Every structure is written in C-alpha cells, then in structure tokens.
A = this chain, B = another copy of it.
Amino acid sequence: MAGSTFQALPGFRDFTPRECAVRNYLFETWRNVARRCGYVEYETPILEDTGLYLKKSGGELSSQLFRFEDQGGRDVTLRPEVTASLARIAATEQRQYPKPLKWFEIGQCFRYEKPQKGRGREFHQFNVDILGEAGPGADAELIALAVETMLSFGFVEGDFVVRISDRNAWVKFAQARGVSDEVMPDFLNLVDKLEREKPEVLTEKLAKFGATLEEVKSFVANPQDAEGSFQEILTDLKARGFGKFVELDLSIVRGLAYYTGVVFEIFDSKKSMRAVAGGGRYDTLVKTISDGAVDMPATGFAMGDYVIRNLIEETTHAAMQMEVWLKRNAAGCEVYMVIPDETALDHALGLVTELRRAGISVDLPLSSVKVGKQFQAAEKCGARFALIVDAEFPSVKIKNLGNRQEEICQATELVAWIKQRLTEPDGPLLA
C-alpha cells in the first residue's frame, strides 16, 4: 500500500472508480427490477438504538455488532441488517400508505466477522419486502421478484434454482410428535443442520423430539404430501412462466428465529450449490417491534453484493453482460474537447457549457497541453468523440474515436448532431 500511511479498515472496501462502477451495476439492476415489479424505495438509518436489534433477533447477531456508546450516552449500533428498522418504520408509517406496502432498500450493513473471500465487515444488501398481505399471493410475488432479479443479471435456466419451503410444515410435523412451542426453535435449528450434521448425531438429537431420521428424510423427500401454502405459490409461479426456476425443498428452514412461514433460497445450481440470497415470512416481527401496537404480516427477501458479484463473474454470459454495461457506463465522458491552441479557447469554453446544458457529457483539458496528449486523454477516458475547436470556429471537427473518421460540423448544429450520433451504436460512420 505504498502511497499512504493509512489504509481502509480490515473488511472495509474502497470503492475506487472501477469498483464503484461494478457497485453501480448491481445497484442499478436491483433498483430497476424492484421498480418494474411495483416496489417503492425507502432507506433506514445506518445507526440505530441497539435495543432494536436485540429485540428483533433475540441476540442472534449480538456478537457481531459494531456497537458503541455515543456522545449522549446512548447504546447505538451500525445496522447489521435493515428488517428491524423496516418493521419500526412500517409500524409508525403504515397508515400513510395503501396496503400492501411493497418497499425496497439498497443499503450498506455492518457485521464484525472475520474478513474472508466473499465476506467483509460491510456489505451492500438489496432488501425487498411486502407488508400487510398474509396470503400466498404475496410470497409468490416476492419469489417472482427474486427470479426476475437473477434473469436481469443475465442468468438463465440451469444457472440457479429457487428452493421453496414452509416452516409451518415442520411445525405441524413436530406438533404431531408432541413437540412444544418452547422447544420448537431448537427443533427447527436441527432441521436447518440436516445436510451438515452427521447422521448419528442427528438420530440422537431427533430422538429427543420423538422423531427418527428416516421419518425426517421421508418428509423432505415428499414435499407434495406436506401441509403448507407452497403448493399455491408453486401454481402461481408456474402461471408466471417461472416453474422451471423453482422447486419445493423442505430441507430449507433458514437459521434466523424470526421467520414464521414460507421461506426460500436462491441456489447457484452449477458450482458449489451455495445460497445466493433468500427470504421468507416474518408475520410477527412488526408486532414484536411495536410492542403489539401494529400487527402486520410480512414477507421479505435479501441479496448481498458479495455473493451475487462472485456468481456473475464466474458465469460467462452474466459476466459479459456486466462488462458491456461497465464499458458503456464507466467512460469519463461522451465527448472530449480538443483545443489545439488558445485562439478559440473562449468559443471552446462556451461550447462546453452549451453541450453540458443539453445533457451531453463533456470533458476538456484544464491547462495548456499538446494536442497529441489531448487525444490520448480522450482515448483514456473512453470518450466516443473528440471535438476539435480551433481557428476554423464556428466550423468544428468531430472525430469518431471508434473508427478514427472525421466530420465537419457547424457549432450551431453541434448539439443536435452529437445527440443524433449518440443514439446510434458507434455512430453512422462505422456503417
């Protein structure tokens, strides 16, 4: 890290222009998908009362918090996730908005974990929630958004699958065996470990709940027999044309305590079968956070930026789509103004204002620089056109930097000329 005695903190990223462009690709895709699906944007505070998170999660995240006392003696925490704040805001604001609330947020979250590949101490999360609608139509709508998100990143059939489950199916399974509400979370945690725990350990632990490993495996293998709302959700998603992207999988329960019903995860189906994103119903959270004042069913979905970016980069067609976007959007400007000498400097500066005011992105040399260097600067910043303004003004020359061809244009017609050329892929001169 030559060049500075200071560095970013461990697990924190500097979004240099190159990295920021990738971030913007993710953000723009997320935002467009959410809007297309009828969600409106909100944002919760980055710093909150620590009690909010402790109340929500029952302490699940408490060892990972960036938690401190502020100058006013308040116990505060950098948000580790946004759903607790969402529940707080929804409880206070819900009367101002028609139901159901379809809200999304793109925001940074903070967890003190060991930094490693694919995980930092901060990450960006795309959160999408539907509040105020208890039926399976909301779950299907949310899962449709999850699929739409993957398709918008360029993933296709075979790249991913959404596995849908229902915690209530397991609750009924357990209740039939006499499992009480108090130990239900322990039972669900055990189901969550089905694929990671040794069979002998599972057998022993399941026995305490009056179940055998065989019964559990048979239950997972036959989801069509289970009671749950996922059958209606599956029918809905098939009508949407998304049947090929979803499947029932009762082995999914998701770790967090606050889920109450249908849960789902997007899996990378090619490589490591890792979970890319997930979500589910949390019908009791708003009531908990509002101390019973507002009772509102809810279902939510979250996707982090680390995992999806890795998956994009590992998947050729998704990576190519991102590269095309980056090339088109990462350019410093559309038009670079070349000013060979000072004779027309004033005219050149006037044109800069005129073009920018017309919505065209323009850069220019900020001191006396040789013409060759100016053309180099135009190339380096990714401009499509060099605009040469010299003593011939009001005649100006435009060079298409893609095919090196030049045209002459009158200054008065310049805005219309450039706007037209910018709508054509690489300009008409390439034809």
- A427 part of interface (Cβ distance < 8 Å): no
Given contacts A20-B42, A98-B377, A290-B3, contact A70 B74 (CB under 8 A): no
- The reply to whether A332 and B38 contact each other, CB–CB distance below 8 Å, is yes
**Cα separation A135 to B1 with both chains bound (whole Å):** 29
Given A10-B72, A88-B6, the answer on whether A333 and B38 have CB atoms closer than 8 Å is: yes
Q: How far is the CA of A151 from the CA of B356 in the complex (A)?
A: 11
Q: A361 interface residue, CB < 8 Å from B?
A: yes
Which chain B residues border A360 with CB–CB below 8 Å? 36
Chain B residue, CB-CB nearest to A152: B357
Closest B residue, CB atoms, query A130: B366
Q: Which chain B residues border A345 with CB–CB below 8 Å?
A: 239
**A40 vs B8: C-alpha distance in the bound complex, in angstroms?**
21
Which of A89-97, A308-316, A415-423 binds B? Answer: A89-97
Residues of B within 8 A of A47 (CB): 9, 12, 66, 78, 110, 122
Interface residues of A in 260-306 (CB under 8 A from B): 289-291, 293-294
* In the complex, residue of chain B having the shortest beta-carbon distance to the beta carbon of A294: B3
Asked if A350 lies at the interface with its beta carbon under 8 angstroms from chain B, I say: yes
**What is the interface of chain A, defined by CB distance below 8 A to chain B?**
1-10, 12-18, 20-21, 23-24, 32, 35-49, 51-52, 55, 66, 68-72, 74, 76, 78, 85, 87-89, 91-94, 96-98, 100, 102-103, 108, 110, 112, 122, 130, 133, 135, 137-138, 141, 144, 148, 151, 236, 239-242, 289-291, 293-294, 330, 332-333, 345-346, 349-350, 352-354, 356-357, 359-367, 377, 380-381
Query: Binding site of A, secondary structure by majority: helix, strand, loop or mixed?
Result: mixed
Q: When A36-B361, A41-B20, A88-B6 are in contact, do A353 and B293 touch as well, CB less than 8 Å?
A: no
A361 and B38 form a contact (CB under 8 A): yes
- Return chain B residues, CB-CB under 8 Å to A46: 46, 108, 122
Is there contact, CB below 8 Å, between B13 and A45? yes
User: A293 contacts which of B4, B363, B364, B367 (Cβ < 8 Å)?
Assistant: B4
Please tell me which one of the listed residues B122, B289, B356 contacts residue A45 in the complex, with CB atoms under 8 A apart. Answer: B122
- Residue from B2, B49, B97, B138 within 8 A of A9 (CB atoms): B49
Please determine whether B38 and A20 come into contact, CB atoms closer than 8 angstroms: no
List the B residue with the shortest CB-CB distance to A84: B6
Is there contact, CB below 8 Å, between B69 and A43? Answer: no
- Nearest 4 CB-CB pairs, A to B? A38-B363, A68-B68, A137-B366, A15-B43
Give A15 to B41 CA distance when docked, in angstroms. Answer: 9
* CB-defined A-B contacts under 8 Å, sample of 27: A3-B92, A3-B293, A3-B294, A6-B55, A7-B49, A7-B88, A9-B45, A9-B49, A10-B72, A14-B93, A17-B42, A17-B103, A20-B40, A21-B40, A36-B359, A37-B356, A40-B330, A47-B78, A47-B110, A47-B122, A71-B112, A130-B366, A135-B366, A137-B366, A138-B366, A240-B352, A241-B350
Q: Which residues of B contact A42 (CB under 8 A)?
A: 14-17, 20
* Residue ID in chain B nearest A382 by CB atoms: B40
Q: Which residues of B contact A141 (CB under 8 A)?
A: 364, 366
| Alpha-carbon distance A122/B46, docked complex (angstroms) | 9
Distance of A100 Cα from B332 Cα, bound (Å): 12
In angstroms, how far is the closest chain B Cβ from the Cβ of A348?
Answer: 8
Q: Say how far A79's CB is from chain B's closest CB, in angstroms.
A: 11
Q: Are A290 and B5 in contact (CB-based, < 8 A)?
A: yes
Give every chain B residue within 8 A of A330 (Cβ-Cβ): 40
The interface centre, meaning the residue of A68, A112, A359 with most chain B CB atoms within 10 A of its CB, is: A68
A20 touches B43 (CB 8 A): yes
